[in-house]
Chains A and B, each alone.
Chain A
Amino acid sequence: MQKLKEVIRILPERLKKLLEEINPELACDIQEIRVRADKPLVLVLKGASAFITYNGRISFILPHNAVAVRADEIEQIFNNACGYSVHSHLKNISQGFVTITGGHRVGIAGEAITEDGSIIGIKNITSLNVRIAREHKSSAEEVIKYIYTGSLNSLIIAGPPLSGKTTMLRDIARRLSGLSLSRYYKTVVVDERNEISASNLGNIQNDLGINTDVLSSYPKSEGILSALRSLSPDIIICDEVGFIKEVMAIEEGINSGVKFIVSVHASDKRELLSRPQSKRLIMSGAFDKVVLLKDANNPCRIKEIFEARNLEDEIRSGITDDCDMLDDRKLLYKP
């Protein structure tokens, strides 16, 4: 409920009042608030879209009295999300999002402003998607035993949207730099979008443990190289990796003896082995294990764990089209 309160702060008074009156049990299940100009307000609860009526009732079928959002309210929400400081968020806006206090991400859709082929801003904003960040302090309990098996391992955490990848990275950072593995590991979080740390004006709002350094708003590749140069980490954690520059930075780190825990988007093994980003990471040889998470209905729950070298072999042998053919014995874990 506290997380929802942080989010509804940016909504206009009219919508704020409606959401404040939602049953607290239901409110805890809200994962996203989606607003579109002149369209009904959509709440995403456990992966399913729902609507809210003027009397505060939530319905999974569009009711005739569903609350709609006006175009001027979209502008107000956007300005509130930026803290009336659009100029401070230009880099993120051009990437399509703003991170608000509490680490919640507001996705932006509108008309792109381009210059020399790259997006430099967004105008005429038509919809916003507010994703509520959660902090589950036990989400990494299951995965932590695969990170340390006599020595530290490098790990890829894969999962579909809302499967809890960032939440899990946060808990891993907290545990590694705490005393979960009999040592206070020197942990560096390269937090390009400020979602892991929820850093705001130098104030790290999420608990990332006592021995964690946070590089906020750094481009991942530069953050990794900067951490390697100056922070002597045992382990580097970053979210949504996959560009060639980032993989190269990771390779440099692996050669310096640093371990990595990163996340990538992939709904299942087939996607994991066919998406260029995850494929590139697996093929880099830098990782020991790959953890595949379930889905939005089961956030932070492990679906499968693979040995990275087995996946690498599979990619090399080219049998990525039909994953059902893959040998189940290569799985380390299947609940």
Chain B
Amino acid sequence: MIVICSMTGNYFTNRDYTRVKTIEELLLMIQIISTEIKFSRTPMDAIIEKLSRRKDFRHLDFITDCVEIMKTRSFPEAWKLTVEDSGFHNEERQLLLSLGANFGTSDVEGQLSNCELHKKLLENNLNNAREKCSKFGKLYTSLGVLGGFLIAVLVV
């Protein structure tokens, strides 16, 4: 019982930690997209393909799925489908959908502004997620262990 409750506490701690890591990777992803657009004018399909080959995006599996779907469908459709299926926190999912809706439909300046805006919004999310993580991280674990003990005592 103690083990199960501790694991539940850990699950919640990990969920917050994973969200922080995911947002950090998303920020890096947007930075790479901005750079590709700014300096190489790289088309979106090539950028996504490049991103899918990166090994450091451990939480961004949706990019690989997007590349697969782009073989048969247009980029915006593929992006929408994979983001909706990504399992990200709702706030990040909405941000990614709005980011993707404007991808590739304007000139370089428009694209960079789109990236910049979403970067700022994601940074906000990151701060909140980090705060939550440090505030509740240990609490979830402790609550899990203590809750386990409490249930064990009550049962016995």
Enumerate chain A interface residues (CB-CB to B < 8 A). Answer: 79-80, 82-88, 90, 121, 201
Contact = CB atoms under 8 A, between A and B. Distances in A.
A87 B45 contact: no
Contact of A87 (B74, B75, B76, B108): B108
Which of B43, B46, B111 has the largest number of chain A CB atoms within 10 A?
A: B43
Which of A84, A85, A87, A121 has the largest number of chain B CB atoms within 10 A?
A: A87
B107 A85 contact: no
Nearest to B106: A86
A121 B110 CA distance: 13
B136 interface: no
Given A84-B44, A86-B106, A87-B108, 18 more contacts: A79-B105, A83-B43, A83-B75, A83-B104, A84-B43, A84-B74, A84-B103, A84-B104, A84-B105, A85-B43, A87-B106, A87-B107, A87-B111, A88-B42, A88-B43, A90-B107, A90-B108, A201-B46
A90 B41 CA distance: 9
A86 B104 contact: yes
Contacts of A87: 37, 41, 104, 106-108, 110-111
A294 B43 CA distance: 38
Contact of B45 (A83, A90, A121): A83
A86 B107 contact: yes
Interface in B13-62: 37, 41-46
B107 A201 contact: no
B41 A88 contact: yes
Given A87-B37, A87-B41, A121 B75 contact: no
A201 B108 CA distance: 18
A79 B43 contact: no
A237 B76 CA distance: 38
A121 B107 contact: yes
A87 B45 CA distance: 12
A80 B75 CA distance: 9
A207 B44 CA distance: 26
B104 A82 contact: yes
User: Top 6 nearest A-B pairs by Cβ distance?
Assistant: A84-B104, A85-B43, A84-B75, A88-B43, A85-B104, A87-B108
Contacts of A84: 43-45, 74-76, 103-105
A258 B74 CA distance: 44
Nearest to A121: B107
Contacts of B42: 85, 88
B104 A201 contact: no
